[in-house]
């Protein structure tokens, strides 16, 4: 399976999975870059997967289904124009043209109906888990988001994390303010800067890297607790997580 991050808008990636001349896309916020990519690779679209209702993830559905008559999978708990198959926790999404199937993971927090699509070694997690960060809490509570991130954190360490935005450098800058002594984080900063300077994406990362460096997966680590406590939080994981998220919003 070939996986390409088709760039869209300022910093979105529309993930395009291709096999034997067929493709599926995750979160096409814009149809045009996807149509250009498919034309350039001579590939036909077979399915669309949507993680949540924001326009930078779902705005390209209409333009794609005008050209390709394909199923559009999306969260059952959100009302998204163009979604034809509503999915819930534990459902299996099958795309036979690519011989691919994904399990659906519900992840309330960024939005209330947000879902991820997972198959062994690959996680398409929209705006929930970012490389070294997490999505803003537009609809859910800190407790919901923390529970959602904990679900993802329990996946195997070699899982490739395909998030939907290139936010990694600013996320690492914040993570270094939280954990200035985290050696793996310092190494990641160098690696990501080198990638970006070469014009390359910083994603996917792996879940192991996220567990070692992403402060939002580390609300139980003593250094992270200490940083949150210095900003007024008590030691409970939800309070630590909420303090981190608030801090990042204003960072």
Q: Is 110 annotated as a binding residue?
A: yes
Task: Rule CB under 5 A: say whether 56 interacts with Fe ion.
Answer: yes
Handedness of CA 146, 150, 153, 155 (dihedral sign): negative
- In this complex, which beta carbon is closest to Fe ion, that of residue 30 or of residue 127? 127
Torsion angles phi and psi, residue 54, rounded to 5? -65, 145
- Known catalytic residue at 165: yes
CA-angle at 117, arms to 199 and 141, nearest 5°: 95
Token digits of residue 61 = 């559905």
- Known catalytic residue at 36: no
**Which helix or strand (DSSP H or E) is residue 6 part of?**
strand 2-8
Q: Which of 22, 37, 53, 54 binds Zn ion (CB under 5 A)?
A: 54
Part in contact with Fe ion (CB under 5 A); list of ranges 75-83, 95-103, 127-135, 224-232: 127-135
The answer to whether 80 and 57 are in contact (CB under 8 A) is no
The active-site residue out of 27, 30, 56, 91 is 56
**Binding-residue total with Fe ion (CB under 5 A):** 2
- In this complex, which beta carbon is closest to Fe ion, that of residue 106 or of residue 127? 127
Q: Is 52 annotated as a binding residue?
A: yes
Task: Rule CB under 5 A: say whether 127 interacts with Zn ion.
Answer: yes
- In this complex, which beta carbon is closest to Zn ion, that of residue 2 or of residue 136? 136
**Residue given tokens 């991050």 in the structure block:** 5
The answer to whether 135 and 127 are in contact (CB under 8 A) is yes
Q: Measured from the CB of residue 71, what is the shortest distance to Zn ion in angstroms?
A: 22
Residues of the shown chain interacting with Fe ion in the complex, contacts defined by CB under 5 A:
56, 127
């Amino acid at each position: 399976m070939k996986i390409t991050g088709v760039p869209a808008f300022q910093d979105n990636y529309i993930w395009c999975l291709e096999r034997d001349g067929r493709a599926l896309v995750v979160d096409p916020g814009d149809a045009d870059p996807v149509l250009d990519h498919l034309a350039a690779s001579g590939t036909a679209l077979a399915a669309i997967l949507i993680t949540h209702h924001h326009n930078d993830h779902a705005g390209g559905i209409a333009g794609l289904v005008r050209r390709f008559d394909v199923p559009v999978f999306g969260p059952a708990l959100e009302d998204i124009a163009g979604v034809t198959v509503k999915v819930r926790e534990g459902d299996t999404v099958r795309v036979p043209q690519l011989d691919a199937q994904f399990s659906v993971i519900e992840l309330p927090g960024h939005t209330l109906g947000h879902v991820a699509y997972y198959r062994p070694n690959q996680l398409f997690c929209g705006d929930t888990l970012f490389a070294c960060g997490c999505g803003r809490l537009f609809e859910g509570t800190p407790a919901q988001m923390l529970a959602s991130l904990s679900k993802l954190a329990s996946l195997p360490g070699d899982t490739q994390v395909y998030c939907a935005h290139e936010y990694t450098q600013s996320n690492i800058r914040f993570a270094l303010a939280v954990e200035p002594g985290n050696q793996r984080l310092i190494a990641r900063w160098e690696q990501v800067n080198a990638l970006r300077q070469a014009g390359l994406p910083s994603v996917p990362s792996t879940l192991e890297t996220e567990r070692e460096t992403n402060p939002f997966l580390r609300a139980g680590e003593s250094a992270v607790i200490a940083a949150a406590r210095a900003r007024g939080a008590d030691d409970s994981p939800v309070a630590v997580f909420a303090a981190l998220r608030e801090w990042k919003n204003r960072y």
